[in-house]
C-alpha cells in the first residue's frame, strides 16, 4: 500500500483547495456531504474557491447511515453523472463521511482519487488520516472496507470553532491517546491545554503534532499487523463502554468512551507492567475535570466483558489490549483475565 501524502494543517484552505483541484484540471469534482455539513460547512468551501460546477452528494448524517445503502447512493450518483477515474472526490465531514466516502471512492471504477476535509476534531485527528475506509454491516462497525489513503487530507481549524464543548472534548481524547503513546513532552503539552477556554491557534499546533504521531505509526504498519495496534490504546474498554451506553439509551460520544477506556487501560498497564501511578492519576484528574464519568453497576460487568470478548480486535477467546509500560513505552498484544478486567472496572467505579 502506498503511504498517504502528509496531512496538511492549514489556515489557508483556499490555497490548498486550489492546489488540490488544480492537480486535476478539466476533471469534474464531487463533494460528499451529510445533512449537517451541507449547510454548516459547504458554504465555507465555496468561499474557499470550490468550483461552482462541483456536484454535491448529500447522505444522511450519523454513524447509523454509514452503510451499504449510502455507498450505493454515492456509486449511483457518480455513475449517472458520468464520473470517470480522473474525477476528484472530496469528503467534507466527520469520520462517518471520510470512512464512507473513502470507501465509495476507493471502489468506484476500482478506485478514484479522493481528498478528505474533516470538519470535526475527532475526524481530523483520527479517521481522516491513515487510509482506513469502510462501512458498517448489520450493526458490525467497519465490517466492510479497504485500506486506501486519501490523496491528501486538508485540516482547517476554522471548522472546529463551531463545535460544541462536548464534540471538542470528544476529539481531544484521541489527541490524549496519541500523546500517551508518544513522549513525556507531548503528554505534558496535551495535559496543559485548557479545554474550558480554547485557544484555537494553540489547538492547531497540537492537532498538527497529534496527526504527525499517527502518521509515524501508520507509516510503519499501514495495515495494522503490529505497531498500528498502538492506536487501539483505550479502545478495548472504550468500545465496550460506547456500545453499552447506546444499549442503555445513555449514548456517549466516542471520545468520552475512549477517555474512560484510557483510564481503565492505564490502570491495567499499572497493574501488569508498572505504568507510573502518578501518570495514571494525572489522566484521572483530567478525566474527572473535563469528561465526567459514565455510571454503571457491578451487575453490568458481565455485559461489558461480553462486549470486549466480541471486539473484532480479539483472537479467539482472549481479550486483546494495547498497554503501556510508561509514556511512549508501547506493548501490543497484551491480554487480561476476566478477574483483572472486573478488578479494573472496580477501580473505574471507585474514582
Ligand atoms: N483509529 C485507529 C487507526 O486508524 O488505526
User: What percent of the chain shows pLDDT beyond 90?
Assistant: 91
Paired strand residues for 59: 34
Q: What is the pLDDT of residue 4?
A: 57
List the residue whose alpha carbon is closest to atom 3 of ligand 1: 231
List the residue whose alpha carbon is closest to atom 1 of ligand 1: 126
Q: What is the pLDDT of residue 313?
A: 62
- Tell me if 213 CB under 6 Å of ligand 1: no
Residue 139 has pLDDT above 90, yes or no: no
Indicate the top mutation candidate among 145, 214, 257 to test ligand 1's pocket, ranked by most ligand atoms within 8 A of CB.
214
Long-range interactions of 135-143: CB distance < 8 A, separation 24+ = 135/66, 135/67, 135/68, 135/70, 135/71, 135/99, 135/100, 135/103, 136/63, 136/64, 136/66, 136/67, 137/67, 137/68, 140/312, 141/63, 142/99
pLDDT bin (cut points 50, 70, 90) of residue 312 is low
List the residue whose alpha carbon is closest to atom 4 of ligand 1: 130
- E strands present in 94-242: 114-118, 135-137, 140-144, 152-155
Indicate the SS3 state at residue 28: coil
Residue 254 has pLDDT above 80, yes or no: yes
Residue 215 has pLDDT above 80, yes or no: yes
In order of their start, the domains of the chain are: 8-163 (3.40.50.1970), 166-349 (1.20.1090.10)
User: What percent of the chain shows pLDDT beyond 70?
Assistant: 97
Measured in Å, residue 242 CA sits from the centre of ligand 1 at 16
pLDDT bin (cut points 50, 70, 90) of residue 3 is low
pTM for the model stands at: 0.94
pLDDT digits (tens, 9 = 90+) for 15-72: 999 998 887 777 799 999 999 999 999 999 999 999 999 999 999 999 999 999 999 9
List the residue whose alpha carbon is closest to atom 2 of ligand 1: 231
Q: What is the pLDDT of residue 318?
A: 74
- Tell me if 231 CB under 6 Å of ligand 1: yes
- Tell me if 132 CB under 6 Å of ligand 1: yes
Amino acid at each position: 500500500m502506498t503511504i498517504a501524502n502528509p496531512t496538511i494543517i492549514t489556515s489557508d484552505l483556499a490555497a490548498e483547495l486550489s492546489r488540490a483541484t488544480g492537480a486535476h484540471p478539466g476533471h469534474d469534482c464531487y463533494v460528499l456531504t451529510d445533512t449537517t455539513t451541507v449547510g454548516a460547512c459547504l458554504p465555507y468551501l465555496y468561499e474557499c474557491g470550490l468550483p461552482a460546477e462541483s456536484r454535491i452528494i448529500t447522505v444522511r448524517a450519523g454513524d447509523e447511515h454509514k452503510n451499504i445503502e449510502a455507498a450505493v447512493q454515492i456509486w449511483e450518483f457518480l455513475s449517472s453523472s458520468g464520473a470517470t477515474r480522473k474525477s476528484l472526490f472530496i469528503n467534507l465531514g466527520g469520520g462517518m463521511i471520510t470512512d464512507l466516502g473513502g470507501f465509495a471512492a476507493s471502489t468506484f471504477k476500482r478506485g478514484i482519487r479522493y481528498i478528505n476535509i474533516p470538519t470535526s476534531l475527532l475526524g481530523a485527528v483520527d479517521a481522516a488520516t491513515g487510509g482506513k475506509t469502510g462501512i458498517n454491516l448489520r450493526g458490525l462497525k467497519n465490517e466492510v472496507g479497504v485500506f486506501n489513503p486519501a490523496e491528501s487530507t486538508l485540516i482547517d481549524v476554522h471548522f472546529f470553532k463551531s463545535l460544541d464543548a462536548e464534540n471538542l472534548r470528544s476529539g481531544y481524547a484521541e489527541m490524549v491517546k496519541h500523546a500517551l503513546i508518544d513522549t513525556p513532552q507531548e503528554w505534558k503539552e496535551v495535559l496543559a491545554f485548557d479545554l474550558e477556554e480554547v485557544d484555537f491557534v494553540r489547538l492547531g499546533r497540537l492537532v498538527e503534532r497529534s496527526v504527525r504521531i499517527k502518521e509515524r505509526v501508520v507509516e510503519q504498519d499501514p495495515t495494522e499487523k503490529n505497531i498500528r495496534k498502538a492506536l487501539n490504546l483505550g479502545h478495548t474498554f472504550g468500545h465496550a463502554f460506547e456500545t453499552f451506553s447506546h444499549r442503555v439509551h445513555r449514548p456517549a460520544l466516542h471520545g468520552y468512551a475512549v477517555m474512560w477506556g484510557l483510564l481503565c487501560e492505564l490502570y491495567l498497564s499499572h497493574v501488569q507492567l508498572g505504568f507510573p501511578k502518578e501518570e495514571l492519576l494525572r489522566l484521572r484528574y483530567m478525566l474527572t475535570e473535563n469528561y465526567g464519568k459514565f455510571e454503571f453497576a457491578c451487575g453490568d460487568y458481565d455485559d461489558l466483558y461480553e462486549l470486549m470478548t466480541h471486539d473484532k480486535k480479539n483472537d479467539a477467546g482472549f481479550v486483546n489490549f494495547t498497554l503501556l509500560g510508561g509514556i511512549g513505552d508501547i506493548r501490543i498484544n497484551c491480554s487480561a483475565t476476566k478477574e483483572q478486567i472486573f478488578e479494573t472496572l472496580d477501580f473505574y467505579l471507585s474514582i
